[in-house]
Amino acid sequence: MKLSAGDVKQFEDEGFIFVPDLFTSEELAILKGEIPAVFAERRPEIVREKSGDVVRTAFATHTYNDVYRRFVSHPRILEPAQQLLGGDVYIHQFKLNGKAAFDGDVWQWHQDYGTWSRDDDMPEARAMNLAVFLDEVNEFNGPLYIVPKSHKAGVLGAGHDVETTSYPLWTLDHETVARLIDDGGIAAPKGPPGSGFFFHGTLVHGSPPNMSPWDRLIVYVTYNRTDNAIRRFKRPEYIAHRDFTPLEVLPDDCLTSP
């Protein structure tokens, strides 16, 4: 799938693109059908919320689950990533973010590239995220908050928060976030299951707790240029991958006809 010139310009200007109905109901049923078994596993890749046994994030699912192995090479997500990043890409990070009903905790304000730079020594911000909604995302179940145009600010100063949640994060202070919102506003992409959301590695974002009775499951894939591979390996490989092999695009029906 190729993005239009208008889509590319929006990504450059605003830092994100929202694509409704990127995946079909049949494909979503296949993707969601794997979740109970994945979340039931007891392995280092599965991070649970601080408050109990609810899954916060499942990392690197594509390395041990065949459906998600095919998903990361699907042309509707891989080809736009290659187009926006201008070259071959590999998977830097993969995660299923649970944000379970009632129990899904906050993700503080942050920039992903800030972490990739500080922890993984990724040379430049030539990496990006692709998110696909596996549940409906609405204003009540912890939607992602983003600050349009904030990707143009470059890498911002951040503090390493290791206490607020079960997952340590390089977070931004309130003054910085308020200033950026004054400049670019704030948005919360919402939509039905199957919606796609591409966003820049330095776009400022976060999400509130899920206090609703509705789950908010999103799959995130971080694509990085192969010539921008990380140079520090202090984090576990399931969080910051070491396999820099370029991904090859699979057929459009790779989920339904493997």
pLDDT score, position 8: 96
Tokens of 170: 């390089």
CA–CA separation, 27 and 12 (whole Å):
29
- Report the relative pairing of strands 145-146 and 205-207 from DSSP bridges: antiparallel
- Are the CB atoms for 37 and 66 separated by under 8 Å? no
Residue 252, number of CB atoms within 10 A of its CB: 12
Q: Cα 177 to the chain's mean position, in Å?
A: 20
Backbone angles phi, psi at 71, to 5 degrees: -55, -45
Domain ranges (residues) in the chain:
5-228
pTM: 0.94
Q: Cα 159 to the chain's mean position, in Å?
A: 21
Q: Identify the residue whose tokens are 């997500």.
A: 77
Q: Profile the chain (258 residues) by mean pLDDT over runs of 10 residues.
A: 94 96 97 96 91 89 98 98 98 94 87 94 97 97 96 87 69 93 95 97 94 96 98 96 98 95
Backbone angles phi, psi at 200, to 5 degrees: -70, 150
CATH homologous superfamily of domain 5-228?
A: q2cbj1_9rhob like domain (2.60.120.620)
| CA proximity to 198, closest of 5, 12, 30 | 12
Q: Is 74 left (phi over 0), alpha (psi -120 to 50) or beta?
A: beta
Amino acid (1-letter code) at residue 159: G
- Are the CB atoms for 210 and 56 separated by under 8 Å? no
Whole-Å CA distances, 18 to 96, 189, 201: 19, 7, 15
CA end-to-end span of the chain: 19
Backbone angles phi, psi at 36, to 5 degrees: -55, -45
CA–CA separation, 1 and 245 (whole Å):
21
